[in-house]
């Protein structure tokens, strides 16, 4: 290995090694007796049924449309090759979560330099707000990895220059290689968007983010309009190619249009009702369905039931418009509470034990620090890096608005935790310039 190659890969290897060590330690100590419950149990059941009965089912060989498919199929592949033990799925998450830390390194490196990239990657590796989800069979870690990779890939696509000279017509092999390398970020954006949508139904909203991003980069003349339109169309088409087969499968099962899964009605019904306004203060602004609400995973729950729940929630909203600002404010505030009970995290099975208390204190302290550093990083990088950080700003805004519109707690902050680390790295970058007494870079246009 020559010096240049060594220099390029040594930091990612260090970060990945540290990340995997932290996550393995967490899984074999604090999470050693973890058993899937709630949503995690459903994903586990579906995966086992795929392996044993070749059926995407929760119960009674009844084809399910209540859960997005990507994570259950990933678990089923792990169970098929390594055995039906949930630890193997958590082991996969250890590697995936470490991959998220490496993506943060590359993102910070491209924005702020290799040294800040290293610092950001190490912070990500050690940050409890990321590794606690790598011992839990919810879809949080998968969704966080995919969205972080998508935002980084879109950033790299924005940086690509359409003006690079093509190889000559005679060098057809070089030309083919050139086009494949040049368009890799474009195709990767489409693939990631498709997988994100199959991981969480609200992932399709990222298509709207791509549209807003396209308008910004075209108006700011970062890229020409015709290039931006091509990018948006290709990304949408690739994502559609990935999602449409599952949508068709849902139609064959229900004879109704279900893009990815049902459940939106239950989500809205649990977020907008009298309980979360007038009930126990502990549940205000959170998610608590009415006593007569049906679980969308229950046998016999149909897309028509989902639609009825949606209409019931909307009816409540329109008859309680004066309370909506209060609810939305609670949703926003709940998003930033450092620790909230998350229904089945490994350490929550024994909250009174010292190990669980240590983790909760670590989450609380580091979250407060991380959010504070990220806010400072946002302001100090705005003047100089706002063009490069466009994809980060858009995803932060989209996630926050979703959490305000539906409901929020610590778990729904998970997708933006890597970006908080990135902005904290931006603050460190700014400090290095200040203490080195170097002139600040030229103000970036928008």
Residue 63 in 3-state DSSP? strand
Which pLDDT score is estimated for 205?
A: 96
In a domain, 446, yes or no: no
d(CA 424, CA 350): 32
Query: pLDDT per residue over 207-219, tens digit each?
Result: 999 999 999 999 9
In contact, 57 and 46? CB cutoff 8 Å: yes
In a domain, 358, yes or no: yes
Q: What is the mean pLDDT of the chain?
A: 92
CA atoms 20, 21, 22, 28: torsion sign: positive
Query: pLDDT per residue over 276-289, tens digit each?
Result: 998 888 888 899 99
Helix, strand, coil percentages for the chain (3-state, nearest 5): 75, 0, 25
In a domain, 292, yes or no: yes
Whether residue 362 is predicted with pLDDT greater than 70 in this model: the reply is yes
- For residue 150, the surrounding DSSP H or E stretch is helix 140-159
Higher per-residue confidence, 366 vs 62: 366
Per the structure, the count of domains in the chain is: 1
d(CA 197, CA 189): 12
d(CA 389, CA 34): 38
d(CA 260, CA 67): 8
Query: pLDDT per residue over 105-164, tens digit each?
Result: 999 999 999 999 999 999 999 999 999 999 999 999 999 999 999 999 999 999 875 544
Short-list 337, 335, 345, 369, CA closest to 123: 369
Which pLDDT score is estimated for 8?
A: 77
In contact, 144 and 138? CB cutoff 8 Å: no
Any bridge partners for residue 57, and if so which?
Answer: 63
> Which residue in this structure is represented by tokens 């449309």?
65
Which pLDDT score is estimated for 11?
A: 96
In a domain, 442, yes or no: no
In contact, 12 and 19? CB cutoff 8 Å: no
Whether residue 1 is predicted with pLDDT greater than 60 in this model: the reply is no
In contact, 304 and 69? CB cutoff 8 Å: no
Short-list 333, 393, 342, 392, CA closest to 363: 342
Query: pLDDT per residue over 182-191, tens digit each?
Result: 689 999 999 9
State the residue range of the domain holding 136. 3-164+171-435
Assign residue 350 a region (left: φ > 0; alpha: ψ between -120 and 50; beta: otherwise).
Answer: beta
At 248, the pLDDT band (50, 70, 90 cuts) reads: very high
At 171, the pLDDT band (50, 70, 90 cuts) reads: low
Which pLDDT score is estimated for 334?
A: 94
d(CA 311, CA 318): 10
Tokens representing 358? 């240590």
In contact, 18 and 104? CB cutoff 8 Å: no
Which pLDDT score is estimated for 198?
A: 98
At 237, the pLDDT band (50, 70, 90 cuts) reads: very high
Task: Give the CA dihedral 76, 79, 82, 88, nearest 10 degrees.
Answer: 100
Percent of the chain with pLDDT over 70: 91
Residue 156 in 3-state DSSP? helix
- For residue 57, the surrounding DSSP H or E stretch is none
Please state the rounded mean pLDDT for residues 70-98: 98
In a domain, 441, yes or no: no
Tokens representing 156? 């790299």
Whether residue 258 is predicted with pLDDT greater than 70 in this model: the reply is yes
Query: pLDDT per residue over 292-324, tens digit each?
Result: 999 999 999 999 999 999 999 999 999 999 999
> Which residue in this structure is represented by tokens 């907008």?
272
Tokens representing 340? 């909230």
In a domain, 440, yes or no: no
In a domain, 100, yes or no: yes
Q: Check: pTM over 0.85? Answer yes or no.
A: yes
Query: pLDDT per residue over 329-341, tens digit each?
Result: 999 999 999 999 9
In a domain, 444, yes or no: no
Higher per-residue confidence, 146 vs 5: 146
At 435, the pLDDT band (50, 70, 90 cuts) reads: confident
Which pLDDT score is estimated for 280?
A: 83
Short-list 317, 318, 321, 303, CA closest to 265: 303
Which pLDDT score is estimated for 212?
A: 98
Tokens representing 252? 């064959």
Instruction: Tell me how many degrees the CA angle 200-203-208 measures, rounded to the nearest 5.
Output: 165
């Amino acid at each position: 290995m020559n010096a240049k190659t060594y220099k390029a890969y040594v930091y990612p290897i260090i970060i990945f090694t540290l990340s995997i060590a932290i996550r393995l330690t967490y899984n074999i100590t604090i999470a050693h007796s973890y058993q899937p419950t709630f949503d995690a149990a459903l994903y586990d059941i579906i995966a086992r049924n795929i392996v044993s009965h070749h059926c995407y089912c929760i119960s009674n060989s009844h084809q399910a449309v209540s859960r997005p498919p990507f994570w259950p199929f990933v678990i089923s592949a792990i169970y098929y090759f390594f055995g039906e033990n949930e630890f193997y799925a958590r082991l996969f998450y250890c590697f995936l979560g470490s991959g998220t830390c490496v993506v943060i390194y590359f993102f910070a490196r491209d924005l702020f330099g290799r040294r800040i990239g290293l610092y950001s990657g190490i912070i990500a590796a050690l940050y409890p707000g990321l590794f606690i989800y790598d011992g839990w069979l919810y879809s949080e870690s998968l969704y966080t990895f995919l969205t972080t990779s998508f935002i980084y890939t879109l950033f790299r696509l924005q940086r690509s220059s359409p003006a690079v000279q093509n190889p000559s017509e005679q060098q057809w092999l070089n030309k083919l290689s050139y086009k494949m390398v040049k368009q890799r970020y474009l195709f990767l954006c489409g693939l990631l968007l498709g997988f994100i949508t199959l991981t969480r139904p609200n992932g399709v909203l990222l298509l709207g983010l791509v549209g807003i991003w396209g308008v910004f980069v075209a108006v700011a003349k970062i890229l020409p309009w015709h290039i931006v339109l091509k990018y948006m169309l290709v990304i949408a088409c690739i994502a559609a190619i990935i999602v449409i087969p599952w949508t068709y499968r849902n139609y064959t099962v229900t004879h109704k249009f279900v893009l990815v899964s049902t459940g939106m009605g239950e989500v809205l019904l649990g977020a907008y009702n009298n309980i979360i306004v007038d009930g126990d203060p502990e549940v205000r602004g959170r998610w608590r369905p009415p006593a007569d609400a049906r679980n969308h995973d229950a046998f016999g729950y149909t897309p028509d039931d989902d639609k009825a729940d949606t209409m019931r929630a909307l009816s409540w909203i329109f008859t309680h418009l004066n309370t909506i600002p209060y609810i939305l404010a609670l949703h926003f505030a709940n998003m930033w509470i450092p620790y909230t009970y998350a229904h089945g995290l490994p350490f929550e099975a024994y909250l009174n034990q010292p190990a669980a208390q240590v983790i909760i204190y670590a989450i609380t302290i580091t979250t407060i620090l991380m959010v504070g550093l990220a806010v400072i990083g946002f302001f100090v990088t705005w003047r100089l890096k706002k063009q490069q950080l466009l994809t980060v700003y858009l995803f932060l805004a989209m996630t926050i608005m979703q959490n305000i519109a539906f409901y929020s707690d610590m778990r729904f902050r998970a997708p933006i935790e890597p970006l908080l680390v990135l902005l904290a790295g931006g603050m460190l970058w700014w400090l290095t310039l200040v203490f080195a007494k170097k002139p600040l870079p030229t103000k970036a246009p928008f």
